[in-house]
Amino acid sequence: MAAMRRPTVTVRVPASTSNLGPGFDTLGIALKLHNQISIRETDGTAVELVGATPGKDSPRAQAMAREAVAVFFQRSKIKPHGVQIEVKGEVPVSRGLGSSVTVRLGVLFALNEINGRPLAATAMLDAVTELEGHPDNAAPALYGGFVVSGVVQGVVRYRRFNVPASLKFVCCVPEFEVPTEQARALLPRQVPLRDAIENLNRAALLTATFATGEFSLLRGLFDDKLHQPYRLKLVPQLDEAIANGVAAGALGGWLSGSGSAVMCLTEHKEKDVAEAMAKAFAREHIACETHILVADNDGTRVKRA
């Protein structure tokens, strides 16, 4: 094992729920469910996953870590050095809650701290977006709150808003995974114009409603025609779970990212909503966990001792 040279830097990165139905690859909210990514500089140039890091020996985990480290050194112009990376936390893998962003952003953020902060936050966002392919999880994970984002002329633009703790995000996480690549492969190359128009107006209204805080007006705005109907074969309980949640008092619901987690938003009766959503999976004898979460308005932060 490489010799240790500097103290460990640990950063806390929130999970995130993206799309919110119609805001495909555009809307996201950071949640108070976190991963901690610790990095220690070592001699040499090796990138090692150590400790309790989930799947640390898997090719995908190794590739994600190495890619994030390489992008940091490329963009910062810092001379590469070895690092040990450990991931701990609560964010489930391949459930549509931004677990890959917590690793990629956590590595970049911690390396930036170790090396004297050569990258601005906007540069880190661009780097993570390059790795992810879209900023809808990366932007809220970095900045916290509700974020609308997109790549404009090669640079990520975003606007964010705080989300009050009165809004509860009821997350139903089934036992099965949905790989993002598999979920994206189901999407059509073309969609009907009327479906695109409906998504545009819903996404615009969603953004305006979060900006103004008139949350009772969110009802009916989470409907989607661009991705959720095509992903039903991966999460066939989706529509029933959302309908159950709405019947129990939720304002609406959506497939979190590409799934498999299903999210409902409510201002009250959050426990009733959680129980109702879980019944959709229980009816198919699928185990699931439910989490009642609030938004994380802080984003990624260095964890102090």
Burial of 7 (0-12, 13-18, 19+ CB in 10 A): exposed
301 found inside a domain:
no
What residues contact 58, with CB distance under 8 A and at least 6 apart?
none
92 found inside a domain:
yes
pLDDT at 6: 63
- Shared domain for 13 and 151, answered yes or no, is yes
18 found inside a domain:
yes
pTM for this model (two decimals): 0.92
Which domain-ending residue is among 147, 162, 177? 162
Residue 133, token pair as written in the block: 């392919």
Q: Rounded distance, CA 195 to CA 155, Å?
A: 28
Total tally of structural domains belonging to the chain:
2
- Shared domain for 214 and 121, answered yes or no, is no
303 found inside a domain:
no
Phi, psi of 170 (to 5 degrees): -95, 115
For the chain, how big is the Rg over CA atoms in Å? 19
User: What CA–CA distances, in Å, run from 154 to 76, 130, 147, 184, 268?
Assistant: 18, 10, 18, 22, 41
- Shared domain for 97 and 176, answered yes or no, is no
Q: Looking at this protein, which amino acid is placed at residue 81?
A: H
Residue 140, token pair as written in the block: 């809220």
Q: What is the CATH number of the domain that holds 219?
A: 3.30.70.890
- Shared domain for 148 and 218, answered yes or no, is no
101 found inside a domain:
yes
- Shared domain for 131 and 183, answered yes or no, is no
The number of C-alpha atoms within 13 Å of 26 and in the hemisphere containing its C-beta is: 14
Which domain-ending residue is among 144, 162, 180? 162
Q: Contact, 258 vs 235, CB < 8 A?
A: no
Q: Contact, 264 vs 277, CB < 8 A?
A: yes
Lookup result for tokens 């189901």: 186
Q: Rounded distance, CA 34 to CA 90, Å?
A: 6
Q: 144 lies in which domain range?
A: 9-162
Count H helices, E strands: the chain?
A: 9, 11
- Shared domain for 88 and 142, answered yes or no, is yes
112 DSSP β-pair partners: none
Q: Where are the alpha helices (DSSP H) in the chain?
A: 59-76, 99-114, 121-132, 138-143, 180-185, 193-212, 228-231, 238-247, 270-282
- Shared domain for 104 and 246, answered yes or no, is no
pLDDT at 2: 45
User: What CA–CA distances, in Å, run from 274 to 32, 166, 184, 191, 245?
Assistant: 17, 16, 27, 33, 7
- Shared domain for 126 and 222, answered yes or no, is no
Q: Which is nearest to 101 in space by CA: 9, 28, 36, 13?
A: 13
Q: Rounded distance, CA 143 to CA 198, Å?
A: 29
Q: Rounded distance, CA 51 to CA 89, Å?
A: 12
1 found inside a domain:
no
- Shared domain for 52 and 152, answered yes or no, is yes
pLDDT at 58: 78
- Shared domain for 172 and 122, answered yes or no, is no
Q: Looking at this protein, which amino acid is placed at residue 146?
A: F
Q: Rounded distance, CA 137 to CA 31, Å?
A: 11
pLDDT at 57: 67
- Shared domain for 15 and 155, answered yes or no, is yes
pLDDT at 150: 95
Residues of the chain predicted below pLDDT 50 = 1-5
- Shared domain for 153 and 200, answered yes or no, is no
DSSP string, 136-151: TTHHHHHH-SEEEEEE
